[in-house]
Structure 1
Amino acid sequence: MRFFDLVLALLPSVASMTIRANKFTPEILLSAPRRSAGNPNSNGSKVLYSTSTYSFEEHAKASEIRMLDVKSGETSLITNAEGASEPQWLDDETVLLLSEAKEGTSVKIGPAKDFENSYDAGTIKGSVGNVKLVSVDDGVYGIAVTGKATPSGDLYNENEAKKPHSTGRVYDSLFVRHWDHYVTENRNAIFLATLKKDGSKFCLSELKNTLKGSQLESPIEPFGGTDHFDISRHGLVFTAKDPELDPATHTKTNIYTITAKNFWDGLSKDLPEIFKVPIHGFEGASTSPVWDEDGEAIAFLSMRTDGYEADKNQVFIIPDYASPGWVVHLWGTEDGKGSWDRSPSSITWGYNQKIYFTAEEAGRVSLWASSSNFNETTRTPHLIVKGGAISSTRLLKDGSLFLSSASLIENSLYSILPASAFLETSSVETYYSLPLDDGESEDDVANRITKYVSSNTRSGSTFGLSRKQIDEIWFEGAGNGSYVHAWVFKPSTFKKGHKYPLAYLIHGGPQGAWEDAWSTRWNPAVFAEQGYVVIAPNPTGSTGYGQDFTDAIRGQWGGLPYEDLVKGFEYIKENLSYVDTERSVALGASYGGYMMNWIQGHELGRQFKALVTHDGVFSMTAQMASEELYFPFHDLKGKLWENPEGWSQWDPSRFAGNWATPHLIIHSEKDYRLTMNEGLSAFNVLQVRGVPSQFLTFPDENHWVLKPENSLLWHEVVLDWINEYAGLEKYTEWRARTQGAASSE
């Protein structure tokens, strides 16, 4: 019995889905309710969450903040006010959330059962988010939010900002633009305030910019959020780029603390000095700083190598906030690699010297546990919950863990790992004294004791999907003795003895992985329901298979991973009789898009009927236009002028004379990581060579296509393109035919 295999037929679904899918289509994918990670109260009896849906009929998005009653399984509306966000528990019955206001952002507080009777605790003159709360004293809370700060340190307010007469911008350093926007003088900052009871209501104090005058920025763009800082009754811990290094060519970030015994009492005065935590020998990115439940100790993650964003995260603990220079490296080794060969992505403190991590493991984001007692650092973390993709872990007051997760067939699952599941051992062993069923392993038993709270899609059945559609394969790779893992996703109509065309999906990164996780951008189920067997391999460079496997892609972009994909295709051809490799298509985005362009110029490209490149690299030298230059500098073993042969060796444009397979190119104008010229160049080559080709672009999208209407068009164009060459009915023709038949009835 696997982690996501249960059909929750007896549990009410939080989502009020209006249809049960007969065929999982892009419209269903994009219009289905999207539910946030759950935010439980202290005993886990009630869960706050936000949900959003998109209507293609009304061309509008609707959002709600709701509360789930765990015992009954019923949900109630907190608010559907436009601009309401980030619900937090102030106590077990009281909710705090942010709401857009004319002046900026309103902090609203009210009873969970009757939030219509909420009140404004205060208004913040600017746009803020990433709320965190901590109880400081009876009737007193500390609150942290983040927002843009002006050079003077004030919260930026777009409505009050002076409009320039010219649109010109002058830069004298790197980072002219980042991800999808041009960099301005305003920087992210962490603002603190207190909430104090005045009679029966809380009042918000004036916000204080903790980073004013420091040259530091946190959270770090473009993806940093609440994982980049944390607060306790003793102060603030955060991560920020090293201000002495150029952020475009370095990944080094530092951990900083601002602490005091009576920290929040002194918030109206000058804050304590910012302290930079020393992490000797670790010059890469440091992330995920978190206080323990007592507000005394801090844990965080750090990488050794500057300029390498996919280096292994290792775990550090500051045992006493009052001595932040005392840092303990858990599971450290003399060679610096660490004895735990996994790269954790988040940390959650437990009780009784327990500490939990999420980390990738063979295509899953699983939960691990260990002792936080730094005197027991020889015992590496132990796997306690396996797969699909755990996104959030919350500690309840009884020591249980509330988990938010997803899988390839489920877009939101809430569950609880009871504290009673753990044996009280210093090594936090979790092989339970429960009988094994036939064929079960200890991992299966660990998953069996997890209490399921709420499935947004009834384990995929709302979408017409089931776990039976998913398999896994391992095949021998290009590296000596290495094996490559791949997910196999079959159509829901799969029948033994039938053959289905292959959709070969190549992931981005390249230091990334296809996981047992939900996606609204590259969802294997959408392709499988068109009639494909989808195979998504994790070749050399992928994460979750040991750091050596990840590191092996350096200087090998078109080498070992390409050989892995060739061997994977041969394995499919020889071993999966239900796959028709004569009707194969291949698709990829980012590095996967690079690989499509590389495949197009090499022998494997002739094995496919059609290819799809989304925001991929055409010319290696064009990566000098990227914002985060440390990425190509690391992966290609040096700067362009230091290693021109290394840059040229894996350049897809060198093999443009071989391009012959029909090819769809997609590239958006606001993609500043890989500029749009890359897509245009590839399309121009195809057109000049007379290769059947199309070009799809969006002027308002970045490296990803996020707007629902744009995403629907993306799916229509992609599915029509590959279906035509794979011998399947075009998606738009199928939709018109079935809708026409339905309307005639």
Structure 2
Amino acid sequence: MKKICLLLAVLVYSFAASSQNLMTPEKLWQLGRVSALGLTKDKQFLLYSVAIPSIAENKSKRKIYKIAVTGGDAMEVSNADSLMENEKISSDGKYIISSDEVQVKNVKANDIYKDLPKSNAYVFTSLNYRHWDTWEDGKFAHVFVAPYSNGKAGEAKDIMAGEPYDAPQKPFGGDEDFVWNPDGKHVVYVAKKKFGTAYAISTNTELYEYDVENGTTKNLTEKNKGYDVNPQFNKQGNLAWLQMKREGYEADKQDIIVGVKIIAPNGESSLKTYNLTTTRDDIHVESFKWSEDGKSIFFIAPINGTLQLFSVNNPT
């Protein structure tokens, strides 16, 4: 009797297993890649995108949807840009910021040696000549500021003209690497202003503040020698960012720093900083967001193999 029961159990299990679809790369390619885009201007809907990879076309097709923050059915939209606030436009609406690639260095042989126009070699004399699968080609991502009126941008100014540095950072940096101060007069961007071997071995990214009116640039995080990334302002003008302390240590603990601008009697400004997560050795902040009233910060950090949502008060 036991043998019959065992045989029946094996047959039932085998039938159930054979009726299920196996997980294959092809099945994974059919899954949509979901990314949150943000809230609509009225804060009533969440916008998100779903990208479906196409093997035949070797690219993904993306659709954008909105869903009420209170729940309900999702609706496809075609005008997502008009539904969201454009954070790259200054608070007074006079300027817009963007990023673009700029040729700064000559590394191709036919650019260096004009008598060798057919040469397709790259010439390097030091690091950094390649990052993973991408060669350094002498082009660098720069931040641009342009006057903005009636929905159109005027002639853009490269605020890093001639500099062999990237902003946004490569390879992971994006739009979060350059942001407006709510005063509409200053742009803060992330850059590691080192070149060659010094760039390759350093983790010392800095936050730089560009003054739109007088064209000057100031290093806001010069005292810290590790990573300074992801600058975000609240509506009250307080600046927060993510920071690692130690130079050259990519796996250092990442904390949330809040900086408050202090004006000295001579008119010079500096940042008084507060580390909001330094007392928790078990917390490595992955991402964060200011609350609407600017009184607290929400952040995500891994704890015991899970990702948890936290909040911390703004001490300023």
How far apart are 1:35 and its partner, in Å? 2.1
Question: Is 2:235 aligned against 1:293?
Answer: yes
**How far apart, CA to CA, are the structure 1 residues paired with 2:73 and 2:157?**
41
> Does the Cα contact within 8 Å between 2:102 and 2:141 map onto a contact in 1?
yes
Query: Which of 100, 104, 110 is 1:151 aligned to?
Result: 104
Unaligned runs of 5+ in 2: 1-19, 106-115
Question: Is 2:19 aligned against 1:68?
Answer: no
How far apart are 1:324 and its partner, in Å? 5.1
The one-letter amino acid paired with 1:327 is K
The one-letter amino acid paired with 1:237 is V
Question: Is 2:155 aligned against 1:210?
Answer: no
Question: Is 2:180 aligned against 1:239?
Answer: no
Matched residue of 1:305: which SS? coil
How far apart are 1:142 and its partner, in Å? 3.9
Question: Is 2:176 aligned against 1:177?
Answer: no
Instruction: Provide the aligned length of Structure 1 versus Structure 2.
Output: 276
Alignment partner, residue 16 of structure 2: none
How large is the RMSD of aligned CA atoms in angstroms?
2.9
Alignment partner, residue 82 of structure 1: none
> Does the Cα contact within 8 Å between 1:284 and 1:305 map onto a contact in 2?
yes
Listed as ranges, the matches of 1:335-484 within 5 Å are 338-341=278-281, 342-350=283-291, 351-374=293-316
The one-letter amino acid paired with 1:51 is V
Question: Is 2:144 aligned against 1:191?
Answer: yes
> Does the Cα contact within 8 Å between 1:297 and 1:321 map onto a contact in 2?
no
**How far apart, CA to CA, are the structure 1 residues paired with 2:89 and 2:309?**
25
**How far apart, CA to CA, are the structure 2 residues paired with 1:249 and 1:25?**
39
Highest RCO, 1 vs 2 (Cα 8 Å, sep ≥ 6)? 1
**How far apart, CA to CA, are the structure 2 residues paired with 1:169 and 1:59?**
31
How far apart are 1:40 and its partner, in Å? 1.4
**How far apart, CA to CA, are the structure 1 residues paired with 2:250 and 2:46?**
34
Would the alpha carbon gap of residues 149 and 55 (structure 1) be closer, same or farther in structure 2, given more than 3 Å must change? closer
Would the alpha carbon gap of residues 151 and 321 (structure 1) be closer, same or farther in structure 2, given more than 3 Å must change? farther
Show structure 1 runs of 4+ deviating over 4 A. 58-62, 89-92, 321-324
> Does the Cα contact within 8 Å between 2:128 and 2:200 map onto a contact in 1?
yes
- TM-score, length of structure 1 as denominator length: 0.34
Would the alpha carbon gap of residues 186 and 320 (structure 1) be closer, same or farther in structure 2, given more than 3 Å must change? same
Alignment partner, residue 513 of structure 1: none
How far apart are 1:59 and its partner, in Å? 5.2
The one-letter amino acid paired with 2:271 is W
Larger helix percent: 1
The one-letter amino acid paired with 1:133 is K
The one-letter amino acid paired with 1:276 is N
Alignment partner, residue 420 of structure 1: none
> Does the Cα contact within 8 Å between 2:257 and 2:276 map onto a contact in 1?
no
> Does the Cα contact within 8 Å between 1:318 and 1:324 map onto a contact in 2?
no
The one-letter amino acid paired with 1:273 is T
How far apart are 1:174 and its partner, in Å? 0.8
Question: Is 2:169 aligned against 1:225?
Answer: no
Matched residue of 2:28: which SS? helix
The one-letter amino acid paired with 1:74 is A
> Does the Cα contact within 8 Å between 1:134 and 1:142 map onto a contact in 2?
yes
**How far apart, CA to CA, are the structure 2 residues paired with 1:373 and 1:329?**
8
Alignment partner, residue 317 of structure 1: 258
- TM-score, length of structure 2 as denominator length: 0.76
The one-letter amino acid paired with 2:127 is L
Matched residue of 1:42: which SS? coil
Question: Is 2:257 aligned against 1:305?
Answer: no
Question: Is 2:272 aligned against 1:327?
Answer: yes
Question: Is 2:206 aligned against 1:254?
Answer: yes
Would the alpha carbon gap of residues 365 and 43 (structure 1) be closer, same or farther in structure 2, given more than 3 Å must change? farther
The one-letter amino acid paired with 1:49 is Y
**How far apart, CA to CA, are the structure 2 residues paired with 1:50 and 1:321?**
41
Alignment partner, residue 4 of structure 2: none
Q: Deviations over 1:394-452 (max 9, x none)?
A: xxxxxxxxxxxxxxxxxxxxxxxxxxxxxxxxxxxxxxxxxxxxxxxxxxxxxxxxxxx
The one-letter amino acid paired with 1:203 is K
